[in-house]
Amino acid sequence: MKTIGLIGGMSFASTVEYYRMINCEVQKRLGGNNSAKIILYSMNFQEIKELQFKSEWEKLGEILSGAAIQLEKGGADFLLICTNLMHKVAPQVEKKVSIPLLHIVDATAQKIKSQNIDKVGLLGTVFTMEEEFYTQRLKKHGIEVVIPEQQERQEVSRIIYDELCRGIFLDEARKKYRQAIRQMKENGAQGVVLGCTEIPLLLEKTEIPAFNTTQIHAMAAVEMSFN
């Protein structure tokens, strides 16, 4: 079994889910007291968030690259960035290490295509929904992307930063997210990508098939750890 390197803490709420899901799946496969071999480098999300809103992406890339280097030195065989948004700096991170980085969009795209879906809605931070690093990577897999209207995008993103990343899950937020999903469905979305690793903690059921990026990424990591 290979050792998984997790770059987490963005936020801690979803990193907990990564750790839980990966270990539960390994125990399910191997039985007994088996668990995954994991090295975790956990960030202070407040520092990361401040740099995100200053558009300091080069600096963020340096910070995550530093974490990746430490994980590789510690014995990790491959890496996961435990957040959708910070895959914006994935190319910068990949250049700094010799071990593979398991990309969350690639894993999600494979899951989407396995269900014969080629048009999805996308929920996430404004950066994830509006910038090309995420949507273009899905399009390279042959998947068309629909996003909410501008005002709804702002509210979806605000909820992520002000509530979900702090472990706050309110019914009002669920209603707003479901409204955004309904709008995207009307615009042709056959499924919805929960493109922020905290969103699955808020939404359990959706009108159209939901792609839980946290779970998809975690299960792909288990698969890679056995191959």
Q: Active-site residue numbers?
A: 83, 196
Query: Looking up tokens 């009307």, which residue turns up?
Result: 186
Bridge partners (DSSP) listed for residue 40: 6
Residue among 145, 135, 177 nearest 160 (CA): 177
Decide if 164 contacts 195 (C-beta within 8 A): no
Count CB neighbours of 77 within 10 A: 17
What is each CA distance from 166 to 50, 55, 89, 170, 186, in whole angstroms?
Answer: 15, 22, 23, 12, 31
Compute the residue count for the chain.
227
Instruction: Classify the C-alpha dihedral 80-49-97-122 as positive or negative.
Output: positive
Euclidean distance between CA atoms 19 and 135, whole angstroms: 27
Range 42-52 burial, b when 16+ CB lie within 10 A, else e: ebebeebbeeb
Burial class (CB in 10 A: 0-12, 13-18, 19+), 95: exposed
